[in-house]
């Protein structure tokens, strides 16, 4: 948790906090998507995280992807901006958030995929191999990727 969220939680408790998430649909040369099975919840999603004060969207997604996968991403392109009812979440500790998601598409990356304390497993998967337990907050943009959406989406 970054300092901003911690300081806001001290002020508002578990009430709904607006956050901005940045994530990456990372596609390999075979057209497979990199998915992460998290250690905190047994669900699959794309790497990404919360924008910190003063960061750009690009800085956030690059930092988060590196922290969670050990990959350096290049030539990122906007895939979509997601908001609406899917943005609401409540965590096990009772904290509530409404998150706007800025999602990027990446085909240019360097490094070797390595799991860490946030990732139980990292795998490149074909569109037909997607697990049933997708993160419900990320499923809309993962499924848009499956549909081959090629222009930025605003939902």
Give the domains, in start order, of the chain with CATH numbers. Answer: 3-154 (3.90.79.10)
Q: Strands (DSSP E) along the chain, which ranges?
A: 17-26, 33-38, 44-45, 48-50, 72-74, 77-82, 88-90, 96-106, 108-110, 119-125, 153-154
User: Using CA atoms, how far apart are residues 120 and 135, in angstroms rounded to an integer?
Assistant: 14
Residue length, the chain?
A: 155
Q: Is 120 helix (H, G, I), strand (E, B) or coil?
A: strand
Residue 1 has pLDDT above 50, yes or no: no
pLDDT band at 148 (very low <50, low <70, confident <90, very high): confident
Higher pLDDT, 116 or 34: 34
The predicted model scores a pTM of 0.91
For 84-119, what is each residue's pLDDT tens digit? 988 898 888 999 999 999 999 999 999 999 988 888
Q: Is the pLDDT of residue 18 over 70?
A: yes
pLDDT score recorded for residue 120:
87
What CA–CA distance (Å, rounded) separates 103 from 82?
8
């Amino acid at each position: 948790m970054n300092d901003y969220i911690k300081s806001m939680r001290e002020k508002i408790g578990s009430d709904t906090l607006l956050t901005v998430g940045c994530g990456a649909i990372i596609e390999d040369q075979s057209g497979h998507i990199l998915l992460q099975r998290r250690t905190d919840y047994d669900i699959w999603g794309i790497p990404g995280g919360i924008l910190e004060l003063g960061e750009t969207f690009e800085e956030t997604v690059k930092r988060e992807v590196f922290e969670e996968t050990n990959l350096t991403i290049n030539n990122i392109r906007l895939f979509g901006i997601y908001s609406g009812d899917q943005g609401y979440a409540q965590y096990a500790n009772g904290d509530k958030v409404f998150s706007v998601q800025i999602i990027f598409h990446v085909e240019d990356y360097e490094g070797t995929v390595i799991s860490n304390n946030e990732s139980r497993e990292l795998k490149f998967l074909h569109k037909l191999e997607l697990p049933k337990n997708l993160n419900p907050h990320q499923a809309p943009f993962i499924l848009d990727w499956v549909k081959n959406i090629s222009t930025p989406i605003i939902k």
